[in-house]
Amino acid sequence: MRVEIEELRHRLGAWLAIENAVLPKYSGPNPVCPKCGANGKGDIKTGYHKGPEPGQGADTGSICWGRLEEGREHLHRMCKKCGYEWLEDCAQNSLA
């Protein structure tokens, strides 16, 4: 039960941040999972995303769909150990 509450707290925090269009700053090329702390080589999968795309009319299943303005560049991170997903701003946006 405690683990489920912590998971919900992490998810809620991520969703609220996305909902308010405030993304965590870029954490660098070797990010640490905010949930389980994994930080070994290859533990975190990173994908660049520029979206949602203009005119995209349906939910794509992405955690950013419908929450970020069209064309906003960001990174999708996913921990391969625990499956936790989060978004981050791109490096150039974090420096501004």
Determine the Cα–Cα distance for residues 84 and 51; give it in Å rounded to an integer: 21
Question: E strands of 7-72, at which residues?
Answer: 44-50
Q: 90, 75 in Cβ contact below 8 A?
A: yes
Domain ranges for the chain, please list them.
2-95
**What does the pLDDT profile of the chain (96 residues) look like in tens digits?**
555 666 665 665 555 545 445 788 899 999 999 999 998 788 999 988 886 555 554 455 666 766 677 677 888 899 999 999 888 888 876 655
Using CA atoms, how far apart are residues 25 and 56, in angstroms rounded to an integer?
26
Residue 57 has what pLDDT? 46
